[in-house]
Amino acid sequence: MTKLITLCGFVCAVWAQETPRPPLVTIRGAASLFTSRSPAGGHGSDGTGATASSILPYVGYHTDKELAHTVAVAHSSALQFSAEGRLPAKELHGSGYGKMIGYSLAEKGQTATTATGVRQKASTRPDEEVQLPEGPGKNATLRACTSCHRAQIWSGARLSRAGWDEAMKRMTIRGMMLTADEYEIVLDYLSNNLRGTAANTVTFADVIRERDLTQGDWPTFGHDPQRTGWATEERTLSPANVSSLELKWKTKVDNEGSLLFALTAPIVAVGVSTRGGLKNVVYVAGKEGKVFALDSGTGELLWEWKVTKYAFPSNTGLQGSVYCPNGVIATPTFDRRSGILYTIAEDGALYGLDLGSGKVRFGPVQFVTPFSKNWSLNLVGDTIYTTLAQGCGGGLSGFYSIDIRNRHQPVVRQLLLSNTNTGGIWGRGGPVIGVNGRVYGSTADGRFNPIVGDYSNSVIAASMDNLDLVDRFTPRNWWELYRKDLDYGSASPVWFSWRNYNLLASGAKEGVLYLLDADSLGGKDHQTPLMTGIQLGNDPKRSTSHGIWGGLSTWCDEEGQTWLYVPMYGPVSKNAPRFPIAQGQITHGSVMAFKVTAEGDTDKPVLEPAWISGNFRVPDPVAIANGVVFVLETGENPDQKGEWDTKTAGQRLTNVKPAVLHALDARTGEELYNSGQAIDTWVHFSGLAIAEGRIHAVDYGSNVYCFGLKGKQ
């Protein structure tokens, strides 16, 4: 049995049992979810196309009796997947893209591959099956209506025909794919066989309320390869209870912060086998080279690992400054199939550590230049991606990937985007990977000349397999950005889908927010966004303390409404659109929220202002869970005076304040909780991680923090 799981346009999981696969069923109209390389070269606007391989990361929680299959398309006109009308009664599933483990990638020319890997939490019995009434359309109903939740969730519901029609419309918004004929077949089956009376009819909201989704990991910066920041499977935290959050524990690890950097953003693995049994484990890497694993329940240090050093940095150029800090700053990632956490050491080598013990199980393999400035790792399939910036260690700016299938024969690829130390991708999320098979990043300032290979101040798209350049968007005022140091690299874009569009939202120091078509970033001329840029801040056009920094985030609510959240430094622009809800005057920074809506009577997406938070000094990229936006007010001083010449942090180590964790209503921006003085000090360039009802953060004092609900163990 295999099912395609989608939520708000995301492809979420493809499941299969290790049994002979039934005939392939072709679903027309699904091509927008993928791109594939055709014999003629595919869809790439620069003459190359992304392959259909490596599209679905982290697909499917499964037990030893269930193996995850991913499905690639040989041509972009159809999505093929196995279909069968039998479901295990206790099916495990992941409705959160990136929250899932056990997947593999379809290789070039293949239809599907399998991968092994056992999730240690929960079990399933394939012989337990849902019993539904026989009738025309039963199998089609099973295929369509198990997209985001178990069949048991809806099979007991009794709705009127109008009620089932409303339910199906909402599921279509969330990503259920049916032709018009299939829609009527399914509606007829549900209406005829699961029809309710006045006495027993339940509402669609009642059905959805009963969903029993498994909570899961936070395996990478921003939760998933698209860097959405959305903890899709979190069900413990909600707007109704986050006011009762408290600090559960604080643990100081053996690391000394310097040059603004201390610990990476945390990541969390659920149900890890350790010497003390199954535990939820928080991982952080320290600037000095150690990796730490802590028990999310107690804060106990489970293990730490430090690389043996064979090389040491020079002090020439920018080395040893805040721009090239000669330390580990890339957030690690992990692979639940193999139980390995991957991190880049100071010398640029990639190591793979056992999740439960910290033992080296992969590498070292030279991945990037020693003492380079590399950013958060992103794992999709058997390939790990990162980005480089600012020429640190002599490494040229661009995308870097490494194929880890064979630890004895790894393959490293590069797409260099500058001939000098400019054009780096230094947004917090590093590489952003879309479900359409492309890798994205926003580049810093420098010269722009595609003829010689300089791609500064642009959004770049590369193919996932070979890192071929396939598309770009360059603002028409790129020269002004270069001249005023308003580089486009200060924030990572976010990838998401909406109706029939694959979208990318981006912005940076200039304070202008762009909405781009992820399949055609800048149109035919590479300079035309899907929506005209919106000036949100930085009226003085300053290169520090203003604009969009870190990364953008997105969420899709229960009604199918897609939201976008933007962290902004400095006051709101006088030219900014009016926000219906404003939570106070802004002096240092804020979070701005938008709804993605259709423009007029068209199907073209636009951003509708929704709310602005209260004043934050200054906000990190937000994390979203079940209707709550969590934002870490960093407390740092973003003034960059004195950094360049002195190779110190200048004034930035002064005039700081302790960081504060805020919980906001995702729809209104109303503050529901703040942590007050619970965090000791400030933090620079960090992020949050949410798993199993707990929020994890770090500070410049090398402390790891865990917040959870009072009374919850």
Q: What is the per-residue pLDDT across 528-568, written as a single tens digit (0 to 9) for each?
A: 999 999 999 999 999 999 999 999 999 999 889 999 999 99
* pLDDT (0 to 100) of residue 151: 64
Share of the chain above pLDDT 70, in %: 75
* Rounded CA separation 411/415 (Å): 14
Count how many residues are written for the chain. 713
Two structure tokens written together for 376: 């958060």
Give Cα 184 to chain centroid, integer Å: 35
Beta bridge partners of 304: 292
Amino acid at 112: A
Give Cα 103 to chain centroid, integer Å: 17
* Beta carbons within 10 angstroms of residue 667's beta carbon: 18
Whether the Cβ atoms of residue 467 and residue 483 lie closer than 8 Å to each other? no
* pLDDT (0 to 100) of residue 346: 96
Closest CA to 627 of 208, 239, 97: 239
Decide: residue 309, CB within 10 A, 0-12 exposed, 13-18 middle, 19+ buried: exposed
Closest CA to 691 of 708, 704, 679: 708
Which H or E run includes 643? Answer: helix 643-646
* pLDDT (0 to 100) of residue 662: 98
Least confident of 191-195, 500-504, 631-635: 191-195
* Rounded CA separation 665/562 (Å): 15
pTM: 0.74
> Which position has the token pair 């000036």?
535
pLDDT surpasses 80 at 262: yes
> Which position has the token pair 């399939």?
381
* Greater pLDDT, 200 or 669: 669
Two structure tokens written together for 118: 């056992």
pLDDT surpasses 70 at 175: no
Whether the Cβ atoms of residue 591 and residue 618 lie closer than 8 Å to each other? no
* Rounded CA separation 189/144 (Å): 12
**Strand 398-403, strand 383-389: pairing:** antiparallel
* Greater pLDDT, 116 or 153: 153
Average pLDDT, stretch 193-207?
50
pLDDT surpasses 50 at 358: yes
DSSP labels, 58-109: S-----TTEEEEEE--SSTTEEEEE--S--BTT-----STTS------PPTT
CATH number of 242-709: 2.140.10.10
Q: What is the DSSP letter of 488?
A: G
* pLDDT (0 to 100) of residue 214: 33
Q: At what angle do helices 161-174 and 180-193 cross, to 10 degrees?
A: 140
> How high is the mean pLDDT of the chain?
80
* pLDDT (0 to 100) of residue 597: 96
Average pLDDT, stretch 353-368?
97
* Tens of pLDDT, residues 404-456: 999 999 999 999 999 988 999 999 999 999 988 899 999 999 999 999 999 99
Two structure tokens written together for 290: 């150690």
Which distant-in-sequence residues (6+ apart) come within 8 Å of 699 by Cβ? 262, 263, 658, 659, 679, 680, 681, 682, 683, 705
Which distant-in-sequence residues (6+ apart) come within 8 Å of 291 by Cβ? 283, 284, 285, 304, 305, 306, 332, 341, 343, 353, 358
pLDDT surpasses 90 at 71: no
* Rounded CA separation 560/546 (Å): 33
**CA–CA–CA angle 432, 383, 46 (5° rounding):** 55
* pLDDT (0 to 100) of residue 28: 27
Listed in sequence order, the DSSP H helices in 81-223 are 138-144, 151-155, 161-174, 180-193, 204-209
Least confident of 258-262, 376-380, 637-641: 637-641
* pLDDT (0 to 100) of residue 62: 30
* pLDDT (0 to 100) of residue 78: 28
Question: Could you give the C-alpha distances from 75 to 26, 72, 91, in angstroms and in order?
Answer: 11, 9, 31
Average pLDDT, stretch 131-160?
74
Closest CA to 237 of 711, 675, 708, 674: 708
Q: How confident is the model at residue 160 (pLDDT cuts 50, 70, 90)?
A: confident
Which H or E run includes 272? Answer: strand 267-274
* Tens of pLDDT, residues 11-56: 333 333 333 333 322 222 333 333 333 333 333 333 333 333 332 3
Whether the Cβ atoms of residue 691 and residue 215 lie closer than 8 Å to each other? yes
Which distant-in-sequence residues (6+ apart) come within 8 Å of 119 by Cβ? 61, 62, 63, 92, 101, 102, 271, 336
Edge-to-edge strand list for the sheet holding 267-274: 267-274, 277-285, 290-295, 301-306
* Greater pLDDT, 326 or 120: 326
Whether the Cβ atoms of residue 377 and residue 333 lie closer than 8 Å to each other? yes
Q: How confident is the model at residue 639 (pLDDT cuts 50, 70, 90)?
A: confident
Amino acid at 696: H
* Beta carbons within 10 angstroms of residue 558's beta carbon: 13
* Rounded CA separation 389/375 (Å): 8
* pLDDT (0 to 100) of residue 173: 54
Tell me, letter by letter, the H, E, C secondary structure of 429-462: CCCEECCCCEEEEECCCCCEECCCCEECCCEEEE
Question: Could you give the C-alpha distances from 694 to 55, 179, 707, in angstroms and in order?
Answer: 29, 41, 6
* pLDDT (0 to 100) of residue 14: 33
* Rounded CA separation 686/681 (Å): 13
Average pLDDT, stretch 367-395?
96
> Which position has the token pair 């690829």?
413
Q: Where are the domains of the chain?
A: 2-209, 242-709
Share of the chain above pLDDT 90, in %: 63
* Greater pLDDT, 268 or 151: 268
Give Cα 299 to chain centroid, integer Å: 25
**Strand 550-551, strand 491-492: pairing:** parallel
